[in-house]
Amino acid sequence: MRITMIGTGYVGLTTGVCFAELGHSVMCLDTNKEKIDLLKNGVCPIFEEGLESLIEKNSATGRLSFVTSYAEAIPCADVVFFCVDTPPGEYGKANLTNLLAAASECAHHLDGYTVLVNKSTAPVGTAKKIQNAVRNINPTASFDIASNPEFLAEGSAIRNFLEPDRIIVGTENEKTATMLKLVYAPLIEQGRNFLSVTIPSAELIKYASNSFLAMKVSFINEIADFCELVGADVSDIAHGMGLDTRIGSKFLQASIGFGGSCFGKDVHALVMRGQEEGYEFRMIKALIAVNELRYLTVIKKLKKHLGPLQGKTVAVLGLAYKAGTDDVRDAQTLRIILDLLDHAVIVRAYDPQAMENFKKIFRRSDEVTFAQSAQSASDGADALLILTEWNEFKSIDLADIKTNMSGTLIVDGRNIFERKTAEVAGFTYEGIGT
């Protein structure tokens, strides 16, 4: 099949490369020439395990190419996927400007029957808007519209694509569903779940899934805070709960709260979409409220041991919103470091992948000292503050790191250390819910 991906952001690029890996002929289109030039030279503009080698492999076979022109990428395609960013707009409502602009541009170049698929996460009703945008520009175009939400998590995106729990497609007719079945045929043949539903259902499955996962995180974080009051251990609670197959063990890791480009944006967008229908999502509002105050947990723990924070030095280990990515969008680390700076704390930060991205988006990054290792970040520090669960941090020699520090406090926002190990190394240990 000839597939065109519009947008080479995180989702568009990973999905396009994986479609080529499945054997399709894929063109990735982006109007950002700089990015396309990098990709043409085999350089992956994002950090995602295994992606660069798949780009190289599939470009070499001729199945994968990168272009900047709609005129080149659209007429030849059997299926076009929209993977354009839908950033939060006013009051958290998804902003569809880029997506609908891409649809209009695409409309000019349609030639022969084409299936247009929205993969960008966008509220219920968006596929219809794309359909209307295309019809307005090109009333005689022969096309069908579909929705095919993505469920890729950063750091494991390739595995998530090639070994999906489910493939969801929303279509208006059997013909479109059959086309999309052909696109995913190699995965369906492996026995992967393929669920064909209506377009509004497909659109809502994505929001409902992300909201549910975000709710699990906020839920366990509330339980974690209560554990500290009653002497329980949240890891035991999560383990005990997770053994019930109705609950499941995933997404019950107590933490500094969820971040990243999806959860926060999607839960807000769903609440806003609800409001448009006169519907109030009370549970989703509650999970948002829990997460919004989550950054205070580690600040309180620092204060408990260090007293007033002014002038104290804190070594922040981890800036990415989770391990395995260089992404800091909507990361709790941004809120936490901002609050530390507001308290006049001297912040020394280190992250194995995300420091450049952090510097780009954190408006007070000139007030942060960036170190080249966990060891050098902790030089002279009163406390270690762990914010991302990188494996590199799990293997830190605590006794060794302590020798260069002024203080002996670890606030472990990801529970990567055992209390006992930290205490044996001479630290005072504060985890989450332990």
- Are 93 and 17 in contact by the 8 Å Cβ rule? The answer is no
Query: In the complex, what is the shortest distance from the CB of residue 49 to ligand UDX, in angstroms, rounded to a whole number?
Result: 12
Catalytic residues, by residue number, are 262
In terms of CB distance, is 260 or 433 closer to ligand UDX?
A: 260
Q: How far is the CB of 401 from ligand UDX (least distance, A)?
A: 23
Residue 390 Cα distances to 51, 222, 334, 404, angstroms: 19, 24, 17, 21
The DSSP secondary structure of 145-197, one letter per residue, reads EEE----PPTTSHHHHHHS-SEEEEEESSHHHHHHHHHHTHHHHHTT-EEEEE
Name residue 131's beta-bridge partners: none
Distance from first CA to last CA of the chain, Å, rounded? 52
Residue with tokens 């894929």: 26
Is the Cβ of residue 150 or residue 412 nearer to ligand UDX in the bound state? 150
Q: Name which of 318 and 407 has its Cβ closer to ligand UDX.
A: 318
Buried b / exposed e over 133-148, threshold 16 CB at 10 Å, is bbeeebeebebbbbbb
Within 13 A of 198's CA, how many CA atoms are on the CB side?
5
Query: Which chain residues interact with ligand UDX by CB under 6 A?
Result: 150-154, 210, 213, 217, 251-253, 255, 258-260, 262-263, 321-322
Q: Which is nearer to ligand UDX, 51 or 217 (CB)?
A: 217
**Opening angle at CA 243, ends 237 and 247, nearest 5:** 85
If the CB atoms of residues 274 and 318 are measured against ligand UDX, the closer one turns out to be 318
CA dist., res. 35 & res. 326, Å (int): 17
Q: Minimum distance from CB of 204 to ligand UDX (Å)?
A: 15
